[in-house]
Amino acid sequence: MSRLKLVRITGILFVLLVILSNIPYTLLIQTFGYDDILREPVDVVLTQFHAGGTQLILTWFAFGLAALLFIPASLLLHRVMDSPQIPNLAIATLMGAFSGILQAIGLMRWVFVVPVLANLYTNPNASTATREAVSVVYQTIHQYGGVVIGEHLGQTLLIGWTLGVGLIMRSSPLFKSWVAWWGLFTTPLLLLGQSELLATVIPQMPIIETTPIGFILWEVWMLIIGISLLRVPQKRLAS
């Protein structure tokens, strides 16, 4: 496969990544009140989840699969940017691939774990003791699978990937310098947003709500990367 074709395929994948992740994300906002519902009481979450039925489970499944697309996207970007002068790119790529895996694991709890808990909790014959037990299990799964694995570890590795790739982009012939700086600008916003996660266990922790803005800018950056690769001229590849 020629390098030009590989660059174009990588560009298409980045554009698809943005589109395919935002479709289920938008549906979850409309049908499940995501992501504000993540901080709601257990009975509200499980009752509303059960009411969403199969369609809601499939929406979460699509969202989880979309997160996995970041793995081939980061690997292909490594291939089109790789050169002997940038050995640190391998570290950034590894962080990106693991980020996709961890975020997908966090999202998939809504597909394979939460439905079971929601069914138990909303069963009209369930005793108070059963509901209390389900509540404890849900909070544990939510805190570990969601906050620890998906939101903290997954997003921290994503920040590392963004920082590493952004720094390397500054000297890459495939991208204009402002593209690199756009990505780098999102990293402090995403990092500060981690304060919300710490506040789940340290109530006195001040919350800096920069994650939504950071992720919007980050997804626009993904789109810019894709479009840049689709439009990069042949002569710039030769350089």
Chunked in runs of 10, what are the mean pLDDT values of the chain (239 residues)? Answer: 89 97 97 90 96 98 97 95 74 96 97 98 96 97 95 97 94 93 97 94 92 96 97 76
> Which ranges constitute the DSSP H helices of the chain?
3-32, 42-68, 70-81, 89-112, 114-122, 128-141, 155-169, 177-192, 195-198, 211-231, 234-238
pLDDT at residue 195 in the model: 94
Of 28, 36, 56, 68, give the one whose Cα is nearest residue 114.
56
Cα separation, 71 vs 66, whole angstroms: 10
- Tell me, what's the pLDDT at 233? 85
Residue 96 burial (C-beta neighbours within 10 Å; 0-12, 13-18, 19+):
buried
pLDDT at 158: 98
Name residue 56's amino acid: L
| pLDDT score for 116 | 98
Residue 62 belongs to domain spanning = 3-238
Q: What is the pLDDT of residue 38?
A: 86
Number of independent structural domains in the chain:
1
